[in-house]
Chains A and B, each alone.
Chain A
Amino acid sequence: MIRRGSIRTLGAGLWSCVMYGATQASAAPFTQDALTAAGPQAAHIAHLWNVMLAVCLVVFIAVMIALAAAVIRAPRGDSATPPDADALVREERPASRAVAIAVLASTAGLALVFWASVHTERALAGMDHARALHITLTGHQYWWEAEYDDPAPAQVFSTANELHVPVGRPVIFTLQSDDVIHSFWVPNLHGKKDLIPGHTSTFDLRVDRPGTYRGQCAEFCGYQHAHMALLVVAQSPDEFDRWAQGQRQPAAEPAAPDAQRGRDVFLASTCAMCHAVSGTTASARKAPDLTHLASRSTLAAGTLPNKPENLARWIEDPQRYKPGVNMPPHALPQQDAQALVAWLGTLQ
């Protein structure tokens, strides 16, 4: 049993490598890079990194020069050289000037780094929150749930694993966790912040450059921690409003008989016990909301590209791609499975 389990895990690992390679090969549609800042906070952090790199580089070079000087100036001799008893005869000259210079230089370097760090913290904390967008982000093993808040309750909507944000407008995240500690980290946008069960924390950021940025759970949270990714799509305010308006709509009534059958399969089988699709009776909240599944670019928190064949395989055996994920395998009759995938594909 151990052998079988580990072979499955290994298989899943290899598969994800292949999938990762495939996504990379197809000119990755997203970036994940802490040094390419797409917002003011990430820019501050990248700047701090550059300052620290420069200071550390200077210190490193100075230490290396001192070391080289010591090695070169070290007394050399062979068996014929008389023993060096200099220190017994004469008092050793204290290197007080060199020590004083080194202490001063170290203090200055540390002070510079400290000042840069405080300055960065101040800049990060001082962001203008006018017209902020509020998102409640909840970490689950192993996916992200995002609820877009609105003063009008009917306008609140929920999505998973793919956030859309308007460019140039601050976003305030309320972070919480449903099970264990996770950490929210989109390197292009900001630093990390933990999502802690039973504790609510807030986090703000702004994206200034349109694009798709990949984020990653940055705190080990279990078997599939590595497959807990999310995408942040930054778009113009108009595009964002159109997207948000689309997300608020309930699922469209299926027209094709295949899709109708798929919906019936969904509602009458195990799917409806965990997933919600607004506009139907499925309203469980233990797994990602699927109302607009087809509008997302990945499946299973960035594990697979969102394609019908991947969706079919994922539904049949999620443990093959994400061993330890909470979704159980489903051996649906083939026609039912096809109809289900067809219906899920209509959820734009």
Chain B
Amino acid sequence: MSCVRHRVALALMPLLLLVACEREQRTFEAPVDERPTVQAALATELQPVTGNSVGGKPADPKSHAYREENNAQSLADGKRIYIWFNCNGCHAHGGGGMGPALMDEQWTYGSKPQDIYRTIVEGRPNGMPAFGARISEAEIWKLVAYVRSMSGLAPSDAAPSRDDDLAARVPENRTKPLPPREQKP
């Protein structure tokens, strides 16, 4: 009996290979004909979030928000862009400074991908500049995904596990998901 069970278990083992297979998948962006307006980008990208999933996980697997958040390369790219474009100049490595902390559960302008997208593209009062004209569409979504991973809102099998330089924080893939708390400005 147990022999049969072993065999069945062995036969099912190859299925493990399919686990998290989207993690490493690369797609190469084609240029969009015209830069979408924020409303258009958000309308086509993001579906209404149903249920009470932690931090409004993107639901549609075809959306940028979902793809980038579940892809190790996109999150790693987001992490590099975060440094390259000097986000750490104000937000440090997530601990905050001149700008608010990004690794805690407090979200002044919302934790959902569409909220973060809007924050980056349009800017926010009291100092957050509008980067809409400065960062390409694909890179913004990578940044959105990385910012969410800083407080553990991205899947831990895709989030970065180390820094390129001296470790400045607990790696993103070991950050405990913090239930976001909306905080009014």
Contacts and interface: CB of A to CB of B under 8 A. Distances in A.
26 contacts: A1-B25, A5-B25, A5-B28, A9-B28, A197-B164, A223-B26, A269-B134, A270-B134, A270-B135, A272-B134, A273-B134, A316-B31, A317-B31, A319-B28, A323-B26, A326-B77, A328-B29, A328-B136, A328-B138, A329-B29, A329-B30, A329-B31, A329-B136, A329-B138, A330-B136, A331-B33
Contacts of B77: 326
Q: Which of B31, B77, B137 has the most CB of A within 10 A?
A: B31
B27 A5 contact: yes
A43 to B, nearest CB: 39
A170 B134 CA distance: 42
Contact of A331 (B28, B32, B133): B32
Nearest to A2: B25
A118 interface: no
Contacts, number: 59
Given A269-B133, A273-B134, A274-B84, A330 B25 contact: no
Nearest to B85: A273
Interface size of A as a range = 20 to 34
A8 interface: yes
B30 A317 contact: yes
Contact of B164 (A1, A179, A270): A179
Main secondary structure on chain B at its contact with chain A?
loop
Contact of B136 (A5, A9, A270): A270
B35 interface: yes
Given A270-B136, A273-B135, A329-B136, A319 B30 contact: yes
Contacts of A8: 28
A321 B31 CA distance: 13
B104 interface: no
A286 interface: yes
Contact of A324 (B26, B31, B133, B139): B26
A242 interface: no
Given A270-B135, A273-B84, A329-B136, A319 B29 contact: yes
Interface string A1-42: 110110011000000000000000000000000000000000
A245 to B, nearest CB: 31
A320 B31 CA distance: 10
B28 A323 contact: yes
Interface in B119-176: 133-139, 164
A297 B69 CA distance: 39
Given A319-B30, A328-B139, A331-B35, 7 more contacts: A2-B25, A268-B133, A273-B135, A317-B30, A320-B30, A323-B26, A328-B137
A339 B83 CA distance: 30
Interface residues of B, number: 22
Contact of A4 (B27, B31, B33, B35): B27
B136 A324 contact: no
A331 B34 contact: yes
For the complex of A and B, list the 4 residue pairs with the smallest distance between their C-beta atoms, beginning with the closest: A329-B31, A328-B136, A319-B28, A331-B31
A2 B27 CA distance: 8
A186 B134 CA distance: 37
A194 B6 CA distance: 49
Contacts of B135: 270, 273
Interface in B8-42: 25-35
A1 B27 CA distance: 7
A286 B136 contact: no
Interface in A285-331: 286, 316-317, 319-320, 323-324, 326, 328-331
Q: Which of B25, B133, B136 has the most CB of A within 10 A?
A: B136
A32 to B, nearest CB: 28
A330 B28 contact: no
A4 B67 CA distance: 15
Contacts of A286: 84
A311 B77 CA distance: 24
A8 B27 CA distance: 9
A9 B25 CA distance: 13
A5 B134 contact: no
A317 B32 CA distance: 10
